[in-house]
Amino acid sequence: MRAVMTMMKLGLGAVLVGAVSVLAACLGEPSSADPGGSIDGTTPGSSGSSGTSGTSGTSGSSGTSGSSGTSGSSGSSGTSGTSGTPDGGDPNAGEAPCTLSSKMYGTMKMWECVPTGMGSAPAGLVVAMHGYTQGVVQASSPNQAWGFKSTSQWATLAQQHKFYVIFPDKGTQAFSWYAFFGTSGIARTDQEPSQIAAMVKDMSAKYAIDPTKVFANGLSAGAYMTTVMLATYPDVFAAGSMFEGGAYGCSTSCAALGKKGNGWTWPGNHAPTLVTGAYPTVWKSATAKKPRLLVFQGDADGAVTPENMADAVQQWKGAVGITAAGTKTTVKGHEYTEYTKNGETMLATLLMHGIGHGTPVDPGPGADQGGWDPNPSQTASADANAVQDWTNTAGIWGPYYSAKFFGLIP
């Protein structure tokens, strides 16, 4: 029981495979002139992959969770309401309207966020994946985090810069990012990777999506799922960014669960061939574009420790064929390293000093500031009741700098 509570505090879940219990870690306007690349503005990136209702009422803004909303009228989909902020503000103000699709994708739902004022020109799409215990629109309660939509404010960026966002939604459950019995569950044809790809296909059929500007992002379990999607669907995703994730092919033993130095040891790095074997048609082609990756990592993260960033770096360098050493600078006071190939930034890391496990946000009025930290902190709390917001005031807004890396923000 103590081990289970420890995992709950760190955003970790459990899955049952047969009779074996396997513990799962939680873990602007599109600019054709800016194909993405360095977030410090020094190195260009690649142009991307070739790729292929009733409404719910809003809840009040008073209190930490807001008052309950009115029930919506019947229909096939509904718009998300606001949960309210402790100071009476609205974390969802100015965001692209987000509606819940009536279609189920395996065990997942999909929230689609479509900015107002979209023209006919094709625009980018970000697939944003939440962490364990978090979901997309949940309000805080014991053993439950605030939803990824409100805290990340991806939909706000989408409205400002005119691109689409979808949130795959597993409620408070973790995405199946982890390998078990080999690589079962994380292959291209397995349920969750194929169903998330189906969401992209459905959005592309419904809206004018630029197939070279489809991107993945996630926190914790959603961050690990980001590398799953890039590895298995490099023909769909041009790039991805992850907030505290790790290499493709990880099992749950990659997560320290707060036990570093007390029984947990790093299980070992994961080979680049795991990535290149996930979809050889692209990965082993000399001419096909490969997905780019941006990794955010807190050096005070006890759940997904910095060893995971080092693992992801060596794996991605090998997968995309990077041989040169990285170039280090700083972005917003944090250590930024980028790795280039043929003049393009194919891999970058942002190591955040003193920051723990959660979406990095930087609330404020600046153009590059945003995100919402319901309980302002730099590291996720470790209280006995596992009340976590999975958001950290890090002095840098992860979604904004992810969008710059993607080329969605000039």
Residue 337 has pLDDT above 80, yes or no: yes
Rounded Cα distance between 193 and 166, Å, is 15
- pLDDT-based confidence at residue 285 (cuts at 50, 70, 90): very high
Cβ atoms 128, 164 nearer than 8 A:
no
Closest to 231 in 3D by CA, of 211, 243, 245: 245
Sign of CA dihedral 373, 376, 377, 381: negative
Per DSSP, 253 falls in state G
Nearest Cα to Cα of residue 335 among 327, 347, 324, 345: 327
Share of residues in the chain with pLDDT > 90 (%)? 63
Location of structure tokens 């020109």: 121
Closest C-alpha among 105, 123, 97, 104 to residue 206: 123
Regarding pTM above 0.85, the answer is no
Q: Is the predicted pLDDT of residue 34 greater than 80, yes or no?
A: no
- The CA distance from 273 to 249, in Å, is 10
Predicted pLDDT of residue 38: 76
Residue 305: count other Cβ atoms within 10 Å of its Cβ.
25
The residue from 101, 140, 152, 220 that is catalytic is: 220
38 tagged catalytic? no
Closest CA to 133 of 308, 7, 309, 300: 7
pLDDT at 43: 62
pLDDT grade for 88, boundaries at 50, 70 and 90: very low
Q: Which domains does the chain have, with CATH numbers?
A: 2-406 (3.40.50.1820)
CA distance 122 to 112: 16
**pLDDT for the residue numbered 316:** 98
Q: Sign (positive/negative) of CA torsion 253, 273, 223, 21?
A: negative
For residue 76, what pLDDT is reported? 37
Is residue 331 within 8 A of residue 39, CB to CB? The reply is yes
